[in-house]
Amino acid sequence: MEGMLISTQQALHMLLTGDSELWSIVMLSFSVSFKAIILTTPPAMVVAYSLANGNFPGNKIVLAVFNSLLSVPTVVIGLLLYVLLTRQGPFGDLRLLFTQTAMVIGQMMLCFPILVALGYAAINAADRRVKETSITLGAPWWFTMLTVLYEVRFGLLAAVLTGFGRIISEVGISMMVGGNILGYTRNITTAIALETSKGEFAQGIALGIVLLLLAFMLTAFLTYVQGKQEITA
Amino acid sequence: MSEPLLLFRGIEKSFAGNQILKNVNLSIYPGKCILLSGKNGSGKSTLLKIIAGLETPSKAEIEFSGKSHSWKSVIRSIRKNIIYLHQQPYLLSGTVVSNVAYGLRFTHLNRTQRSDSLKEALEWAGLADVANKQAKTLSGGVQQRVAFTRAWILKPKVLLLDEPMANMDYESRMQACDLLKRMKSEGMSIVVTGHDADIFDGLTDKHFHLTEGKLES
Ligand SMILES: Nc1ncnc2c1ncn2[C@@H]1O[C@H](COP(=O)(O)OP(=O)(O)O)[C@@H](O)[C@H]1O
Ligand SMILES: [Mg+2]
């Protein structure tokens, strides 16, 4: 118990004095997850829009597949990506295993179905007059898509925030395809796992506090955004 | 009467096995106004949306310049000249100006021509004062006028108005009627739906009644 207290004291000290190793780990986490969410959002929105508006056969099946992908455990994604990227694997020549790029790709795989499923729900709830108005005023299909996406932007933002919250707090993918290399692929979650297993709690607690604060902020922002969405809907 | 601009032939439409439109024929003449009446749920909106290319018919032919085409094969090209206005317009997020200007970017007008026609349109509809207000915050009557204006500015050959007067007070109706008369006098063909023929006094040239999926004059 006393050790715990000392560790927490050390953790707060690290946070407040701007411990450089700690903050570089935090920045790495953000950098990887930002890249992943930014690269995933546009294609996910196009897929979500097509699912909500296209009447191609198999539409509902594709949607069901995305919904079931929501519950794939991160270690399974990590395993799959590991097998693909390992030296002997089909993409081994790219030498991507244990790089930030591999972490970005894994996190993209994790948030893509989330963005599609939640994006679909937001787009599907759009007033059908938006699309009709856009078409009748002469817009080409892609401009109509942008118009609809803009009208439901708060719902889409909520989807993006949810996806970001998911990937920045995941540990399975980062551990397996990142490798937890200090200064290169060690992010918040893998650092916590490592430090804790070594019995070094201070840094783990400090990073845990950062992650918790982030989660609170994301949730607060999400609540605000969802309020906006209801007002404009 | 002159040649019809467009002739819709044999329009059929079912929703989930329930036939809403049965072999409906409708000719649209240049510069003329048709009033379409019918009970709630008789299929007026559905018919207008099929003409505008916003709803797919089970079957339909379109005839123009002496040739007949399937609805499917030509609707994309002809709907450029047709604009449908909802009973309750949906104004997009943004200002009145951005709403009125929405369709201009899809025309062949250059930048100066666009801004000129935008200015003219706002004057035409008496919207200059509210030009920079958020469109969604305006009253129903003003929103309807914004919707008219964002259609009028594109100079479509055909305007389809779905119960434009249904949710308006007397003053808005008079203003809307005035705008419609001016649109018609500029040569636009108009199809308007409604229950009450009196409101459109002096505007309509023909009156059809939709009942049990059939169009009667
Ligand atoms: N998208 C749709 N799906 C199923 N039924 C519809 C749809 N749109 C309209 N209908 C049905 O078609 C009939 C005609 O509707 P509508 O064209 O809106 O009539 P009106 O405009 O004359 O009131 C109604 O019974 C309505 O319930
Ligand atoms: Mg109707």
B45 vs B15: CA distance, rounded Å: 13
What is the SS3 assignment for A14? helix
Nearest-Å Rg of the Cα atoms of chain A is 21
pLDDT band at B3 (very low <50, low <70, confident <90, very high): confident
Mutate to test the pocket of ligand 1, among B40, B42, B46, B87 (most ligand atoms within 8 A of CB): B46
Beta bridge partners of B44: none
Q: What is residue B197's predicted lDDT score, i.e. its pLDDT?
A: 66
DSSP state of A54: -
CB A189 within 8 A of CB A171: yes
B90 → closest Cβ in A129, A135, A140: A129
Q: Which residues does ligand 1 sit against, CB inside 6 Å? A: B 15, 20, 38, 40-46
Across A44-60, b (16+ Cβ under 10 Å) vs e yields bbebbbbbbbeeeeeee
ipTM of the complex: 0.93
Is A136 in Cβ contact with B83 (below 8 Å)? yes
Residue B1 confidence (pLDDT) above 60: no
Is B92 in Cβ contact with A133 (below 8 Å)? yes
Domain ranges of chain B: 6-216
Q: What is residue B174's predicted lDDT score, i.e. its pLDDT?
A: 81
The string of DSSP letters for B125-142 reads: TT-GGGTTSBGGGS-HHH
Structure confidence by residue, pLDDT tens digits, B56-115: 999 999 988 889 989 998 899 999 999 999 999 999 999 999 999 999 999 999 999 999
Architecture of domain B6-216: 3-Layer(aba) Sandwich (3.40)
Residue A125: how many other CB atoms lie within 10 Å: 12
Tell me the pLDDT of chain A (233 aa) as tens digits: 678 889 889 999 999 998 899 999 999 999 999 999 999 999 999 999 999 998 788 888 999 999 999 999 999 999 999 999 999 999 999 999 999 999 999 999 999 999 999 999 999 999 999 999 999 999 999 999 999 999 999 999 999 999 999 999 999 999 999 999 999 999 999 999 998 899 889 999 999 999 999 999 999 999 998 888 777 65
A160 vs B40: CA distance, rounded Å: 41
What is the SS3 assignment for B200? helix
Domain ranges of chain A: 2-232
Is A147 in Cβ contact with B92 (below 8 Å)? yes
> Which residues between 149 and 208 in chain A have a beta carbon less than 8 angstroms from any beta carbon of chain B?
150-151
pTM: 0.92
Cβ neighbours of residue B121 closer than 8 Å, sequence gap 6 or more: B100, B127, B149, B152, B153
What is the SS3 assignment for A230? helix
Q: Provide mean pLDDT across the span B165-184.
A: 80
What is the SS3 assignment for B37? strand
Q: What is residue A193's predicted lDDT score, i.e. its pLDDT?
A: 93
The CATH number of A2-232, from 1.20.1560.10, 1.20.1260.10, 1.10.3720.10, 1.10.10.10, is: 1.10.3720.10
A24 vs A191: CA distance, rounded Å: 11
Mutate to test the pocket of ligand 1, among B45, B49, B58 (most ligand atoms within 8 A of CB): B45
> Quick one: which of B132, B151, B167 has its CA closest to B85?
B151
> Closest-CA residue in chain A for B87?
A129
A225 vs A219: CA distance, rounded Å: 10
